[in-house]
Structure 1
Amino acid sequence: MTALKVLIAYSSRFGHSLKIAETIGNVFTNHHIAVDIYNLEAAVTLPNSMKEYDAVIIIASIRYGKFHKNLHAFIASHKEDLQNCLDVFIPVSLTARKPHKRLLENNHYVNKFLTEVNWQSSKINIMPGALEYPKYNILDRSMIKFIMWMTKGEMDTSKTIDYTDWNQVNLLAQEVYSLLYSKNI
Structure 2
Amino acid sequence: MIRNVLGSIMGLIGATAAVWSPFRAWYDGRHGRDYRIEELFDSAGITDDKAALLGSLLLPFLFAAVLALVAVVLRSRLLMAFSGVVVLGFAVLWMVRQGQAAGSLSVGGGDGEGLGDGLANAFGAGALLILAAAVMSGRPRRRDRVTRETAPEPPYTEPAPEPVEDPAHPPAPSAWPPPPKDHS
Q: TM-score range by the shorter chain?
A: under 0.3
- Give 1 or 2: higher strand fraction: 1
Q: Which has the higher contact order (CA 8 A, sep 6+)?
A: 2
| Greater helix fraction, Structure 1 or Structure 2 | 2
